[in-house]
Amino acid sequence: MSKFIRVNMTTKEVTISAVPDKYQGIAGRALTSNFIADEVPATCHPLGKNNKIIFAPGFLTGTNAANSGRISVGSKSPLTGTIKESNSGGTFSQKMAKMGIKAIAIEGMPADDKFYVLKITIDGLTIEEAPADIMGIGNYKAIELLNAKYGSHVGMALVGPAGEHRLPTANISFKDPESNIRSAGRGGLGAVLGSKKIKALIIEDTNAPGVAIQDPDKFKAAAKVFAKALISHPVSGQALPAYGTDVLVNILNEAGGLPTKNFTAGRADWHEAISGETMNANIKERGGDGKVSHGCHAGCIIHCSQWYPDKKGKYITSGFEYETVWALGADACIKDLDEIAYIDREMDDIGVDSIDVSVAIAVAMAGGLLPLGDGKAALDAVKQIAVPTPLGRILGGGAEIVGKLCGSFRVPTVKGQAIPAYDPRAVKGVGLTYATTPMGADHTAGYSVATNILKVGGFVDPLKKEGQIELSRNLQIATAAVDSTGCCLFIAFAVLDIPEAFEALIDMINAQYGLALTGDDVTALGKSILKVERAFNQAAGIGSAHDRLPEFFEYEPLPPHNTTWDFTPEEIDEVFNF
């Protein structure tokens, strides 16, 4: 990848240059985090002209390495105030990579009130006024209209009404291969794009040269081993394709770590109603548009996504994830999977992080702002985010703000971002990740659930403190590296359990770039990314004192195990002692 594109939205100037030397050897999260740390003043306002936002494919994106089509988006987050990398599937990243575009970095902001579309082709990048008919409408319809205008073959990143209004949970939506929606969900990066008055980026890869491979034979061999490992692992080869990520409802419920009724219990009596098994049965039974498994980008062989249809078989939503189902189903006590599906669709359509808004709904219910467990009331409230009404703005503000406006101290957030679907009192390794990742509470930043619950990469007792610090640290380091490859995080199950998978991953990168990286190099890369991110946060005023879970986890035991969060500050600070 040889081109580095800069777009200045103040001057409307576009610069396409060679990749700066310091970004030559990095990609994905490594590139986005270094770029933001290099160029964005840590104390700037996330929605002001001094913030920047950058899109970058990973090392392997655009090749036929399995599951390598993710896009990393980096910026200073309006939700957390931290540096942020949020990644997504869809078709955008592979097209960028095949066109030789290492990154698209956007800076400045227009003085006028118009919204724009950035169109990227092999000839360059043009800034066009956004067509009036795509403004203020849902993402599904906007994608349809943009397909009609630009051709359905183009890749697309866009913001919905939430991003136009720069709400703190606004996400960036990416078109998937069937013109449905994937999201760089967390941290409000859609609000940053909205602040720069960008409604959409359109990418057309006609005449793209494709990705060069230095040693095609070696690459091909490694890619085969890699793909085989993914398929052979029980999580990525069996559980995820069959039940999607929602397979975790029953698993976490059994483990007593399924946060229920705003984190007051670790099990939900009604877990079966919202489980992956029920989702699977509904899809099979209803037929029609339903698909049990589906990939979010070309080359995905795990297919954890699905198309979830209504009772008549009509498509409601896809990428219907465990974390969303958990938040609405267990945490907000909405016991009907169809009601949850409609809310999920609405969140995708409006363009908000379905984790933060769903946790916000649970906090709002606990705080008396919405009726507990009422899916219809929740759906109506979510729809209001698009207007936005005052209630819509509150929910679009995310769980932290909802908690403040409900006068609550039981607000499950870290650094302003909602804690997802694994209770830190019963899955202690992931609790350390929530507390310490530079991203704000984020399970994907160091998914200790794998080892605590799924027994992938060994086993560390989820209820005890022993071994968790090292586990969270090592997974955060590995994840930062994986997030730089362009690979889906779900390759990690195989990489952790099957030595050949890890070797194949490194072999593919070496074969593509003509390098001789070792496992140590990968670890060093992961560490360097985390250090850069953490230094940015510290300069932004977010340091160790913010690496803490909400206090109520320390003194409210979680049924059924009745464990509390019992790491000392000193122990927590050990996670980043490397």
Residue 562 CB, nearest approach to a second copy (Å): 18
Residue 446 CB, nearest approach to a second copy (Å): 21
The one-letter amino acid code at 148 reads A
Q: Does 88 interact with a second copy (rule: CB under 8 A)?
A: no
Number of H helices, E strands in the chain: 23, 17
Q: Does 350 interact with a second copy (rule: CB under 8 A)?
A: no
Nearest CB to a second copy, comparing residues 166 and 383: 166
Residue listed under structure tokens 């219907």: 320
Nearest CB to a second copy, comparing residues 391 and 517: 391
Residue 551 CB, nearest approach to a second copy (Å): 5
- C-alpha distances out from residue 21 to 3, 18, 486, Å: 12, 9, 20
Q: Does 387 interact with a second copy (rule: CB under 8 A)?
A: no
Nearest CB to a second copy, comparing residues 473 and 546: 546
Residue 405 CB, nearest approach to a second copy (Å): 4
Nearest CB to a second copy, comparing residues 513 and 553: 553
Q: Does 166 interact with a second copy (rule: CB under 8 A)?
A: yes
Q: Does 457 interact with a second copy (rule: CB under 8 A)?
A: no
Among 60, 366, 394, 427, contact with a second copy (rule: CB under 8 A): 394
Q: Does 406 interact with a second copy (rule: CB under 8 A)?
A: yes
Question: Which residues from 516-545 bind a second copy, rule CB under 8 A?
Answer: 538-545
Residue listed under structure tokens 């929910």: 395
Residue 453 CB, nearest approach to a second copy (Å): 28
Among 261, 291, 393, 531, contact with a second copy (rule: CB under 8 A): 393
Residue 190 · residue 163 · CB < 8 Å = yes
Q: Does 371 interact with a second copy (rule: CB under 8 A)?
A: no
Nearest CB to a second copy, comparing residues 184 and 508: 184
Of 252, 297, 293, nearest to 275 (Cα)? 252
d(CA 351, CA 344) in angstroms, rounded, equals 10
d(CA 417, CA 565) in angstroms, rounded, equals 18
Residue 53 exposure: Cα atoms within 13 Å on the Cβ side: 31
Residue listed under structure tokens 């070496």: 510
Among 551, 560, 562, 571, contact with a second copy (rule: CB under 8 A): 551
d(CA 412, CA 400) in angstroms, rounded, equals 8
Burial of 405-439, coded b for 16+ CB within 10 Å and e otherwise, reads ebebebbbbbbbbbbbbbbbbbbbbbbbbbbbbbb
Residue 480 CB, nearest approach to a second copy (Å): 23
Residue 43 CB, nearest approach to a second copy (Å): 6
Residue 77 CB, nearest approach to a second copy (Å): 12
d(CA 393, CA 170) in angstroms, rounded, equals 11
Query: DSSP string covering 484-528, please?
Result: HHT--GGGHHHHHH-HHHHHHHHHHHHHHHT----HHHHHHHHHH
Residue 281 · residue 309 · CB < 8 Å = no
Quote the tokens at residue 507: 């072999």
- C-alpha distances out from residue 487 to 26, 31, 60, 91, Å: 14, 15, 7, 13
Q: Does 194 interact with a second copy (rule: CB under 8 A)?
A: yes
* Upstream peptide bond of 110 is cis (omega within 30 degrees of 0): no
Question: Judged by CB under 8 A, which stretch of 16-24, 40-48, 372-380, 437-445 contacts a second copy?
Answer: 40-48
Nearest CB to a second copy, comparing residues 439 and 540: 540
Q: Does 294 interact with a second copy (rule: CB under 8 A)?
A: no
Among 218, 404, 465, 527, contact with a second copy (rule: CB under 8 A): 404
Q: x/- site string to a second copy, residues 409 to 448, per CB under 8 A?
A: x-x-------------------------------------
d(CA 210, CA 212) in angstroms, rounded, equals 6
Among 6, 98, 102, 165, contact with a second copy (rule: CB under 8 A): 165
Q: Does 42 interact with a second copy (rule: CB under 8 A)?
A: yes
Residues that bind a second copy (CB under 8 A): 42-50, 78, 165-168, 191, 194-195, 369, 389-391, 393-394, 396-397, 401, 404-409, 411, 538-546, 548, 550-552, 555
